[in-house]
Amino acid sequence: MITDNLTTTVYFSKLLLEKCPILNQHIAEALEANRIHYAYLSETKDIWCRDFMPIQVEEGRFVFFKYTPNYLQDPYYLRLQTDTEKVFQATANHLEHLLQHAIMIDLILDGGNVVKCGDTVVMTEKVFFENKDKTRAEVERILKDAFQSDILFLPWDRKETFGHSDGIVHYAGDRKILLTNYDDFSPYYYNRFRKALEKHFEVIPLKYTSKWQHARSWAYINFLQVGKLVLVPQLGLEEDLQALEQIADALPDCEVVGIPALEAVRRGGALNCISWNIKV
């Protein structure tokens, strides 16, 4: 399984240059300083590359899926539904070699609901809601066959419309997993997440000492890792430094850099959401 620490290249939507110019500048500077290759994708309908781009399982092996999530089916939001085939056609010089080793699965899926953790993929149970034409057993079989790994399902908090696991956990390597500070907002779901995760991983919960937790503190778990470089969202809060320190402690072999990310976070996502990192 190609986890973040093995990736070498990262792509962003070309729309990021327009929608989040300051964020894009900070990311570009950090990537260039660490000699990490990056490029931009054309024909995207929004900046959230993670959700619609295929998932790399092994070198040269990618899993495509149906990107028709329920939250984009309202007529107003259909305009934001990216056609991944058009993205690949528009950026063929960069990506056409990937299509030679791709498989397509008959499932509605979001890349933001796929967190690769060694030999396990962590997802929320929203995937079953999106694929009601299939039994739970059928969905599990398709996912296991496609990702060639075990699948760990977390309960779906219905207050979280997107149901993405990358807003809950991030893999830290060596069977360790970072868990966001869900306890500050829903102890019920936090305890369910932790109980499920501890059967497979050493769980490292992020915690902040502020008296009142800011509603945007979820964004810290949605950091971007490419190889040994880790870019952590910074929100102009006192929790910023605490998040940096905790993530750096969990990833001692990495360079951890803070990136001002409010331009994206105000739109509902953070650094993992806007990126598509792969091993080339």
Can you tell me the distance from the alpha carbon of 206 to that of 246, in angstroms, rounded to the nearest whole number? Answer: 7
Residue 126 exposure: Cα atoms within 13 Å on the Cβ side: 24
Global confidence as pTM: 0.94
Q: What is the DSSP letter of 269?
A: -
128-167 tens-digit pLDDT: 999 999 999 999 999 999 999 999 999 999 999 899 999 9
Question: Exposed/middle/buried for 238, CB within 10 Å: 0-12, 13-18, 19+?
Answer: exposed
Please give the structure tokens belonging to residue 178: 């970072």
Residue 255 neighbours by CB under 8 Å, 6+ apart? 34, 228, 229, 230
DSSP state of 62: E
Q: How far apart are CA 136 and CA 132, in angstroms?
A: 8
Write down all domains in the chain, each with its CATH number in brackets: 4-278 (3.75.10.10)
Q: What single-letter amino acid sits at 225?
A: Q
H or E stretch including 198? none
**Residues 204, 177 contacting (CB under 8 angstroms):** yes
- Within the chain, which residues score under 50 in pLDDT? none
- Could you tell me the two tokens for 73? 């089916």
Closest CA to 204 of 232, 175, 184, 224: 175
Distances (CA, A) of 191 to 124, 155, 182, 187, 252: 15, 11, 9, 6, 27
Q: What is the pLDDT of residue 78?
A: 82
Q: Vertex 183, ends 177 and 187: CA angle to 5°?
A: 120
Please give the Cα distance from 13 to 20 (Å, whole number): 11
Look up residue 11 and give its amino acid: Y
Q: What confidence score (pLDDT) does residue 94 get?
A: 63
Length of the chain as a residue count: 280
CB neighbour list of residue 81: distance below 8 Å, 6 or more residues apart = 45, 67, 68, 72
